[in-house]
Amino acid sequence: MQNQEVYDSVVAKFEKVFGAKPAVVAYAPGRIEVLGNHTDYNEGFVFSAAIDKGTFFAVSPAEDDKVTLVANDLDASYETTLAAVAKVESGATWANYPLGTFNWLLDGEPAKAGKGFKAVFGGNIPLGAGLSSSAALEMATALALAKVYGIEKDKTTLAKIGQKAEHTFAGCPCGLLDQASSMYGKAGALVKSDFRSNCFETVSMGPAVAFMMVKSNAKHALVDGAYASRRQACEDAAKHFAKVLRKPVTHLRDVTMAEWVLYKGGLDETQAKRAVHPIGEDERVLQGAALLEKGDLKAFGALMFDSHESSRNWFENSCAELDTIVDAAKSIPEVYGARLSGGGFGGSCCLLVDPTAADKIAAEITAQYKAVYGDEPTCSLIKPSDGAHLV
Q: Please list the alpha-helical segments (H only) found in the chain.
A: 4-18, 96-105, 133-148, 155-165, 177-184, 226-244, 257-263, 269-294, 297-310, 320-330, 358-373
pLDDT of residue 173: 78
Is 64 an annotated catalytic residue? no
pLDDT of residue 207: 72
Tell me the β-bridge partners of 80. Answer: 67
What are the tens digits of pLDDT across the range 272-322? 999 999 999 999 999 999 999 898 999 999 999 999 999 999 999 999 999
pTM over 0.75: yes
pLDDT of residue 220: 57
Which of 193, 181, 220 is CA-nearest to residue 29? 181
Positions of the chain with pLDDT under 50:
223
127-165 core/surface letters (b: 16 or more CB in 10 A; e: else): ebbbbbbbbbbbbbbbbbbbbbbebeeebbebbbbbbbb
- Identify the active-site residue in 178, 254, 282, 306: 178
pLDDT of residue 209: 79
What are the tens digits of pLDDT across the range 184-234? 999 989 999 999 999 999 998 877 779 999 989 886 555 467 888 999 999
pLDDT of residue 139: 98
Q: What are phi and psi of 59, to 5 degrees?
A: -150, 150
pLDDT of residue 226: 85
